[in-house]
Amino acid sequence: MSINFDNVTYTYMPGTPYQRTAIQNINLVINKGEFVGIIGHTGSGKSTLVQHMNGLIVPTSGQVTIDGIDLKMKSQAARQIRRQVGMVFQYPEHQLFEETIYQDIAFGPKNLGLSEDQIETRIKRAMEFVGLNYDTFKDRSPFNLSGGQMRRVAIAGVIALEPDYLALDEPAAGLDPCGRDEIFGQIVQLHQQTGITVILVSHNMEDIARFASRVLVMNNGQISLDGLPQEIFNSGREKLQEAGVDVPPITALIDKFRVRGLAISNDVMTAEAAAKGIYQAVRGRTNAH
């Protein structure tokens, strides 16, 4: 059970003066249950890559399969499998359109042909999951909410499809730190509880470092690094720089200490762990004197 990219290339507007190859010869396997972070600067091909994952765009050459089924096909099986990949785009709240929150979240499940009862159950579950009280919010207009709440309604709409794979493109852009932690907390919880495969596209190195179990770095339409976050942020420095990507702020701080001769473990990805590491290093130095 996996998403497979087999030598995938995609060219925008081929045969015109604007022709541009967005991704090139991508070979990639994302296994079920993984939490994959994708980073890279604007125009590196991240979004193009992700849009292949549910057949929104089909490769110019090569093949994308999910659980062995080619997404390009027009068969019933291909249609089914595309529905197993939920997509949360940037600023998903711009896609809200219904009169009530209930109806908006119901749109996807309705198209799956579920019964009213099943739809209601799914909406309750999805709303609870994103932290919106069902009775308080179900009949309200999605347009009278704060930005963070609208974002949650939009994500609930995708979650209600109960996909096996969930791809999110900058889900926390424009949210305050609290809103960001909430959204990511919920995604991590969903990942742990249901084993859903998560593909997270973000500019925010800190978020990727904290949550992903595997990191892909995109540069010039290719995957320039693929590995564990610690590996990428520590030994992949040069390639990261080439890709125009910064290391997380904590890694940058620890580097500055190392330059000054204070050695702190490489593996820390959170401020708390860094604080402890620095404390121990400082204490260790004092004791040695």
Partner 1 sequence: MGELIKIENLRHIYPGYDNQEVVALTDINLTINQGEFVAIIGTNGSGKSTLAKHLNALILPTGGKCLIAGIDTADNEKVWEIRQQIGMVFQNPDNQIVAAIVEEDVAFGPENLGVAPQEIARRVTEALALVNMEEYRHHGPHLLSGGQKQRVAIAGVLAMRPKCLVLDEPTAMLDPRGRKEVLDTVCRLNKEGITVVYITHFMEEAVTAHRVVVMEQGKIAMEGTPTEIFCQVERLKTMGLDVPVAAEIAAYLRKQGIQLSQDIISDEQLVVALCP
Q: Are 187 and 175 in contact (CB under 8 A)?
A: no
Q: With the CA atoms of 56, 28, 229 and 239 taken in that order, what torsion angle do they form, in degrees rounded to the nearest 10?
A: -100
Q: Does 176 bind partner 1 (CB under 8 A)?
A: yes
DSSP string, 90-101: SSGGGG--SSSH
Size of the site for partner 1 (CB under 8 A): 40
Residue span 209-248 as binding mask against partner 1, x where in contact by CB under 8 A, dash where not:
-----------------------------------xxx--
- Name which of residues 5 to 64 contact partner 1 (CB under 8 A): 41-43
Nearest Cα neighbor of 61 from 6, 20, 8, 3 is 8
Q: Does 289 bind partner 1 (CB under 8 A)?
A: no
Distance (Å) of CA 162 to CA 53, 140, 148, 254: 16, 23, 22, 40
Whose Cβ is closer to partner 1: residue 196's or residue 218's? 218
As a whole number of angstroms, the distance between CA 255 and CA 190 comes to: 34
Residue span 58-97 as binding mask against partner 1, x where in contact by CB under 8 A, dash where not:
--------------------------------xx------
Among 14, 174, 195, 284, binds partner 1 (CB under 8 A): 174
Among 19, 97, 110, 279, binds partner 1 (CB under 8 A): 279
The 10 Å CB-count burial string (b at 16+, else e) for 102-119 is bbbbbbbbeeeebeeeeb
Whose Cβ is closer to partner 1: residue 85's or residue 254's? 254
The distance of Cα 250 from the centroid of its chain, to the nearest Å, equals: 21
The distance of Cα 29 from the centroid of its chain, to the nearest Å, equals: 16
Whose Cβ is closer to partner 1: residue 197's or residue 202's? 202
Whose Cβ is closer to partner 1: residue 46's or residue 191's? 46
CB of 162 to partner 1, least distance (A): 28
Q: Are 251 and 235 in contact (CB under 8 A)?
A: no
Contacting positions for partner 1 (CB under 8 A): 41-43, 90-91, 140-141, 144, 146-148, 173-179, 203, 205, 244-246, 249-250, 252-253, 256-257, 260-262, 271-272, 274-276, 278-279, 282
